[in-house]
Amino acid sequence: MRLILLPIRVVLDLFSREIEHPWSSKLTASRLVYRSKVISYFFATLICLIAVALTPFSPLMYKQQLLGQQQVDYGLKSFVEGDIKDFESFQEIGSKTLGFSSFTNLADGRFELIPSYEIRKVSSKTIFRPLVSLWDKKLSIKGSFKIASRFDLYELVKVAKNNLWFFSLYYPELDKSLELSIKDDKDYFYINQRASLELFQLISNAFLVDYKNIPKLMMKGHFQFLPYLQMKLELSKLLELTHDNYVDFIKSGDTIFVRKKDYSGENIIYRETFFSLSQLRPIVYKSVWDRHLDNDKSQAALSNALFFKARWGKKVEERYDIWIKESLFNPLFAFDFLNEVDQSKDYRRNFERYILGVYVESALSALESNQQDYIDTVRSALQRYSLVFKMALERKDIFYSKATIKGFNDILLGLKLKDKKPILEVKEKLK
């Protein structure tokens, strides 16, 4: 303690040489004896210099961030394209509601995507959110894919900009985007590819703030750690990061994503959470796979098949206009259908017939597999979609066919009884 206080005592005593009880004696309750003024001044100066040099590192002591270390892969990965055996089996799958589309055959039909909803009661309101039920036919694993939330990355980046002295020098294009971002009706903030790449660099730099990687950040010329630490803490809160999780950066089409993998060992539920860096208020997506030794392999295979050349954001909105104009349907369009109110009765009838056909094929496939988990996955997905279908359209006073509801109920009955007959009857009526 006396060594630490030495610089202060020396300075105080310089201003109290003629005083009988110097300030240093009053503050420390001891008298400072200089055996060698040269040595005392030397150590006082040395300690002051060390204290000043360590000042930039003081933020690292906040919540013991100096000792913490996150598993992060700082390189930029890409999804891997699978072997194309049957190009004719490819189709465009996507949804404006989900914010993505892709041209895929789902790994030669290995995966089934079944539109459904997550239904919750909040106070007196019923809230339903799109949820895609997943089934891996190869490994017989069920999973789900959904929008978890939205994240205000704009405000977080603004905080970094306001606190980083050379933000405009480090991230010039991102700095311009913050000033020029156009906010549309849905509160999206789109940025260009160069700004997106700089945002990737900003976030990867934030994850460098720990005892092991801080030298790498300094070698890049960054010596202000607190703004990066603030960003790291907020991202960790958003992604619910623990030391067991793994974070990486991956490119889908021309869009960069931050991704968290949550896998704690054998026979454990596997989760992935990811969001885009092409928007400053991005959608946060979440995939969950049921307990299985290879559930992470299911997610990897599905991601490669679905996201290798996916479109995101505004490009999906452009595709959506074409889908509407040319009556191009796909299973995930089922979510957009419930939001679309301006289409004719004929258009709506055509889609209702299409979506009935989707559930018919899923139900028959599940029954043929004779796997209870598969049957339950299709049944629960259809139960929720049928409920939301009727409720959503009645709320908006939009026409729908009672035959469609009856068709849903007949498929559900067939799945419950494990009897193909009611389902085949529905299929016959669709011809």
H-helix or E-strand spanning residue 319 = helix 314-326
Residue 124 domain-assigned?
no
Number of domains present in the structure of the chain: 3
- pLDDT band for position 1 (50/70/90)? very low
- pLDDT band for position 185 (50/70/90)? very low
In this prediction, residue 373 carries a pLDDT of 95
Same domain, 163 and 230: yes
Residues 6+ apart with CB under 8 A from 72: 204, 207, 246, 247, 248
Strands, E assignment, 230-347: 246-252, 255-262, 270-276, 283-289, 311-312
The CA R_g of the chain, rounded to the nearest whole Å, is 30
Residue 113 domain-assigned?
no
Same domain, 297 and 413: no
Residue 118 domain-assigned?
no
Here the tokens at position 61 are: 């002591």
DSSP state of 106: H
Residue 119 domain-assigned?
no
Same domain, 12 and 97: no
Report, as an integer, the average pLDDT of 321-327.
Answer: 90
- pLDDT band for position 20 (50/70/90)? very low
* Domain boundary pick from 64, 98, 115: 64
User: Is-contact 104 306, C-beta < 8 A?
Assistant: yes
Residue 114: count other Cβ atoms within 10 Å of its Cβ: 25
User: Is-contact 5 23, C-beta < 8 A?
Assistant: no
Residue 221 domain-assigned?
yes
Residue 114 domain-assigned?
no
- pLDDT band for position 123 (50/70/90)? confident
Same domain, 302 and 365: no
Burial class (CB within 10 angstroms; exposed 0-12, middle 13-18, buried 19+) of 417: exposed
Same domain, 336 and 410: yes
H-helix or E-strand spanning residue 300 = helix 295-307
Domain that holds residue 215: 71-78+150-307
Same domain, 260 and 328: no
Per-position DSSP letters for 181-221, written without gaps between them: PPB-TT--BB--HHHHHHHHHHHHHHTT-STTTHHHHHHTT
Residue 130 domain-assigned?
no
* Domain boundary pick from 281, 307, 333: 307
Same domain, 321 and 269: no
The reported pTM is 0.83
DSSP state of 89: G
Same domain, 294 and 168: yes
| 230-238 contacts at long range (C-beta below 8 A, 24 or more positions apart) | 230/159, 230/160, 230/163, 231/156, 231/159, 231/160, 231/202, 231/203, 231/206, 232/65, 232/206, 232/207, 233/63, 233/65, 234/156, 235/156, 235/203, 235/206, 235/207, 236/70, 238/151, 238/284
Maximum pairwise Cα distance, the chain: 109
Same domain, 227 and 298: yes
Residue 361: pLDDT over 90: yes
For 258-306, the pLDDT digits (tens) are 999 987 655 588 999 999 999 888 999 999 999 888 888 999 999 999 9
Same domain, 255 and 290: yes
Residue 340: pLDDT over 80: no
CA distance 214 to 70: 13
The SS3 assignment for 111 reads: strand
In this prediction, residue 420 carries a pLDDT of 95
Residue 365 domain-assigned?
yes
* Domain boundary pick from 307, 326, 351: 307
CA distance 207 to 210: 8
Same domain, 58 and 93: no
Same domain, 280 and 411: no
CA distance 324 to 312: 18
